[in-house]
Chains A and B, each alone.
Chain A
Amino acid sequence: GENVGLHLPTLSVQEGDNSIINCAYSNSASDYFIWYKQESGKGPQFIIDIRSNMDKRQGQRVTVLLNKTVKHLSLQIAATQPGDSAVYFCAEKSNNAGNMLTFGGGTRLMVKP
């Protein structure tokens, strides 16, 4: 079936560097995407979202890029900090899959001091 997946299960970056976390999706009907951050022992926390009619959206230190041509989503974190260490999930919603979010497998971001 259609699913959302991630390229890299683990990403290790130096503190202060920029991080890029990637996500591929296969459902062309997906119209809404969200990035969540999950710290150990906690529930996922919303970071940023983007609609399919946009290709870029910026937040505080984070940017989400959407490339519908290749069905690719990325999360960029500027000046990565130790507190950014967590598992990051992308999630999608599509009109032909009900009204639930479908989550990818997650990427673990490790920030080295």
Chain B
Amino acid sequence: EAGVAQSPRYKIIEKRQSVAFWCNPISGHATLYWYQQILGQGPKLLIQFQNNGVVDDSQLPKDRFSAERLKGVDSTLKIQPAKLEDSAVYLCASSHQGGPYEQYFGPGTRLTVT
């Protein structure tokens, strides 16, 4: 079974530029999560999708971050414009059902904003 795929693996941009990350979850997983992991910290949930609907986006900075999962499969997370404090690893995870059990994580995208 293929795991969660993410691209790109690394991205370096200047502040005020835009960036997008892509995630393809495990086949059949209805729930998809985006996390932000700042160096030295645990992951922080940004947004959770159930199929193509948003379950929770309370910690998503909506003035600059947006995410979509139009067909209920893959997802895109965008930052526009980026700030220095957005430097982090962005992790995508998926799970079978809406609960927290058995979340499978992708390798993440390491973003550096200069």
* Chains A and B come from one and the same complex: no
